[in-house]
Chains A and B, each alone.
Chain A
Amino acid sequence: MVGAAGLSPGPGAAGLSPDPGAADQVTAAPRRVVSMNLCTDQLAMLVAGTGQLLSISDLSRDPRSSAMVDAAAAYPTHHGRAEEIYLMQPDLVIAGSFTARASVDMLKRLGIPVAVFDPADSLTDVADRLKQMGEVLHQQDRAETLIAQFEARLATFQTEIASHPRAAIYHANGYTAGDKTLASQILTTAGLANIAGEVGFSDAGFLPLEVLAMAQPDTVITSRPYPGGSRSEEIMEHPVIETLRRARPEAAMTDSDWVCGTPYVLQAIDDMVDLRRDLQGATR
């Protein structure tokens, strides 16, 4: 959506950008925006006007985490340190509420306006974050268009399903997502029931392997292991998981589509609909 035109923010129109006065941050559209969080990076790339977005975090170029690697290649990246961001002389910094506190506080002390975005916990949050991004970037129209597209595609999933196969999300260390999470909404929208709710998880948390085994889900959705190996991920290969998977369709989730509340969650829902159809084909 955002072309390579954003590549070189350069001085040009912005000139030797004057010290960002704290007072007039609301009046004019920001022209030198730095995003510090994987999810705000992607929202900003979708919503920002040409040349408006100056730099994004390096995670956005990691295909494992980011759904917009190609678009991200067009932007200079940073590593989230206060000093490198300050030296870019941004007139707006966008951070997530879990972004390194110390760096964000430092930037605020240095007089740079910081917009903080909460992580998305539901599908309605996706539209809300797009709207918020439209407001801070003064790109309300672009945001509205994206929201309309998102909601139209989301509506196509709202069909009645006779049975809901029971699915478990099971990540490294036994991390699972409860009812009140975006991941859980992705499952339910695709017509799957999340077993984390049955066993009393509303937020994300660590589901003991024993409890998972007793719950007997129809499918276990794991994340793809990272290179290098770790004990944390070993649990996804545990004989119990292998037994639960046997003779049933399984799925590995593509992290990049799941982690952020962006329109790319639609891709995740699509994958889960495929999984549900596999499951229903297998049981009938």
Chain B
Amino acid sequence: MTRLALLLTALVGVLFITALLVGPADIGPLQSLTALVAGDEGPMTLVMREIRLPRALLGLLIGGSLGLAGAAMQGYLRNPLADPGLIGVSGSAALGAVLAIQTGVAAGFALGLPLAALGGALIGMFLVLVLAGPRGSSLTLILAGIAISALAGAFTSLVLNLSPNPFAANEIVFWMMGSLADRSMTHVWIALPLIVLGAALLLSLSRGLDALTLGEDAAEAMGVRLSRLRLTLIFGTAAVVGASTAVAGAIGFVGLVVPHLLRPFVGARPGRLLWASGLGGAAMLLAADIAVRVILPTRDLKLGVVTALIGAPLFLHLIFRTRRDGM
């Protein structure tokens, strides 16, 4: 238990430092860390503080958000296939963000972008839960998710194609696959408040989700207010996923893979899985972001490509197992 926490924290620490050391500029590891900490007015400090630090911080925050959101949704729906990307929450958040950029809301005030993405995510989340129902089977949940994803993706593409900006249409890939390239501390600051708020809400669900494994009636008997739990889950997930998607696009599969891998280590208790998946998600996204920079150093390989290459086979495996278990 605490050993898992220590192990995951150490892993995240190592990956965070590594993420700071990888990049196209030719700087030695010691030099770069000195430039980051000591700092002068030189170009190395500029690279470390304005390019690599925000990138690593966003990897940490967004990976943590997606892992946490995945674990919370899987715990609440008691369904291992739930993931903010797969069920369309990320796609709806991306639509909100794109609308904010194209209408000028994002340029108008600092939090316009993440709040619009939060709005999109809330609508997406709400629609999926209404379509799938509170006790929806895996099948209805995934079908509802596919429908919401497709619709949000189509609207995102439409808005970007209608934009007067010639670059907008090419950015469909960014919004669908996600990337941390060329982000700045500005993006960290606009994402941070909602991520902190959402993470606090989701972590507060720990006891409720544990109780829910015994069934809804038992949970209510234990004093868990289900309607409140549901609202907290919806708002918390929308906040972390919305803020993440607003600055990095829709990155899929982190919320699916990480809870699945860590579940055996926490005694299958959804409450403990929350923080473990948060740490695990941060580790996975940091590793994926290191991978895209090592594979194609000068080009912007999208993060979603790497996470899907890892996540999609696991998704197939889960579907197969779900079918075998006759759910």
Q: Do A and B bind each other?
A: yes
Determine chain A's interface SS by DSSP, over half rule.
helix
Q: Is the CB of B101 within 8 A of A240?
A: no
Question: For the side of the interface on B, what is the size category?
Answer: 20 to 34
Check B167 for interface membership: any CB of A closer than 8 A. yes
Question: Which of chain A's residues have a CB closer than 8 A to the CB of B50?
Answer: 213, 238-240, 243
Q: Is the CB of A233 within 8 A of B47?
A: no
Q: Is the CB of A211 within 8 A of B164?
A: no
Question: Which of chain B's residues have a CB closer than 8 A to the CB of A174?
Answer: 182
Check A206 for interface membership: any CB of B closer than 8 A. yes
Q: How far is the CA of A150 from the CA of B219 in the complex (A)?
A: 84
Of A68-76, A189-197, A223-231, which binds chain B?
A223-231
Of A227, A233, A234, A235, the most chain B CB neighbours within 10 A belong to A234
Check B171 for interface membership: any CB of A closer than 8 A. yes
Q: Is the CB of B47 within 8 A of A210?
A: yes
Q: Is the CB of A228 within 8 A of B47?
A: no
Nearest B residue (CB) for A173: B167
* Nearest Cβ on chain B to A23's Cβ, whole angstroms: 41
Question: Which of chain A's residues have a CB closer than 8 A to the CB of B24?
Answer: 208, 210-211
Q: Is the CB of B104 within 8 A of A213?
A: no
Contact pick for A210, options B51, B171, B186, CB 8 Å? B51
Question: Which of chain B's residues have a CB closer than 8 A to the CB of A173?
Answer: 167, 300
Number of residue pairs spanning A and B whose beta carbons lie under 8 angstroms apart: 87
Nearest B residue (CB) for A207: B298
Against A, the Cβ 8 Å flags (1 = close, 0 = not) of B286-300 are 000000000001111
Q: How far is the CA of A231 from the CA of B51 in the complex (A)?
A: 16
Against A, the Cβ 8 Å flags (1 = close, 0 = not) of B34-54 are 000000000110110011100
Q: How far is the CA of A173 from the CA of B27 in the complex (A)?
A: 23
Against A, the Cβ 8 Å flags (1 = close, 0 = not) of B144-174 are 0000000000000000000111111011001
Nearest A residue (CB) for B179: A231
Q: Is the CB of A226 within 8 A of B165?
A: yes
Check B127 for interface membership: any CB of A closer than 8 A. no
* Nearest Cβ on chain B to A13's Cβ, whole angstroms: 39
Contact pick for B174, options A211, A215, A231, A235, CB 8 Å? A231
Check A149 for interface membership: any CB of B closer than 8 A. no
Q: Is the CB of A213 within 8 A of B43?
A: yes
* Nearest Cβ on chain B to A233's Cβ, whole angstroms: 6
Question: Which of chain A's residues have a CB closer than 8 A to the CB of B174?
Answer: 231
Nearest A residue (CB) for B299: A206
Q: How far is the CA of A227 from the CA of B164 in the complex (A)?
A: 6
Check B184 for interface membership: any CB of A closer than 8 A. yes
Check B262 for interface membership: any CB of A closer than 8 A. no
**A to B CB contacts below 8 Å, 30 in the list:** A173-B300, A205-B298, A206-B298, A206-B300, A208-B23, A208-B24, A210-B25, A210-B51, A213-B25, A213-B46, A213-B47, A213-B50, A213-B51, A214-B26, A216-B43, A226-B164, A227-B164, A228-B102, A228-B164, A229-B107, A229-B168, A230-B101, A231-B167, A231-B174, A232-B170, A234-B182, A238-B50, A239-B50, A240-B47, A243-B50
The 5 A-B residue pairs with the shortest CB-CB distance in the complex, in nearest-first order: A228-B165, A210-B25, A232-B167, A208-B24, A230-B167
